[in-house]
Amino acid sequence: MSKSKIIDWTVYALDRFAGECYRKGDLSEAALVDHTIQLYEEGLVSIKWENGQPVYSLTPEARMIMDVMKGTPEADIIDDVRSTLEEMNESE
């Protein structure tokens, strides 16, 4: 009996998207997508797809962390992530 590996389609699609950015020479966009994958895997970013493009948002857990950590460097980091996600959504 072989073990099957479950593939998360969102991670697979974002990884391909990042690869395309690298191939086109858009290193900053590729790096952002790579970081977004990590945040998605950590449960801090949710991703839905519209017209074949990813649309990013913070998860309720990330928003709760922002509320609890308000005024701390951690909350500022998550707020920076939120701002970056909004910019990424607008550039699509």
Q: Where are the domains of the chain?
A: 9-91
**What are the tens digits of pLDDT across the range 8-38?**
889 999 999 999 999 999 998 899 889 889 9
> How high is the pLDDT of residue 11?
92
Beta strands in 1-92 (DSSP E): 45-50, 53-58
> How high is the pLDDT of residue 41?
92
The CA-CA-CA angle for residues 38, 39, 45, to 5°, reads: 140
Confidence bin at 92 (pLDDT 50/70/90): low
Token pair in block for residue 58: 């913070």
Beta strands 45-50 and 53-58, pairing class: antiparallel
